Amino acid sequence: MSTIPAFGLGTFRLQGQVVIDSVRNGLELGYRAIDTAQIYGNEAEVGEAIAASGVRRDDLFLTTKIWVDNYAPEKLAASLEDSLAKLRTDHVDLTLIHWPAPGNGVSVEAFMGALADAKARGLTRRIGISNFNIELTRQAIAAVGREAIATNQIELSPYL
């Protein structure tokens, strides 16, 4: 899929058969964007549901997010490769840095550079950030360039 769909199916807090059923039902209803993350602990089930759906991979827009434990440059690509194995695909359409973690000892420049390298290796088609404030977004842009960052995915909720 060449563009980021306006709507997608989120899998936050869904586990086991619930996530499998949710992804299956969403795909049956016509959703073609599926969002998951390493920290959700459900990438394998999402991959299982997609594989069983019969929907062609080229017709899907698959997003995952790298968790803070994997921001170090020597861990990031390997963790994404693990995500790809769980999702049963050779690439995702969008990989995001899940959460700003300025106190974890890995600079924005380091993890954004590692994410850009993962893209250059073909592990992901697009890269971006999630839940970043304005200042950290500026740092991410400075690290890899404005054109490199596809999105800053943020939660929109009446509770926030």
The torsion of the CA quartet 74, 75, 81, 82, rounded to 10 degrees, works out to 150
In whole angstroms, what is the distance from residue 49 CA to residue 23 CA? 6
Task: Give me the catalytic one of 31, 40, 71, 159.
Answer: 40
> Do 9 and 23 touch, CB atoms closer than 8 A?
yes
Say what angle helices 43-53 and 73-87 make with each other, to 10 degrees. Answer: 40
CA R_g for the chain: 15
159 in catalytic set: no
Give the SS3 label for residue 4.
coil
Identify the burial level of 67 via C-beta atoms within 10 angstroms of its C-beta, where 0-12 means exposed, 13-18 middle and 19 or more buried: middle
Please give the positions annotated as active site.
40
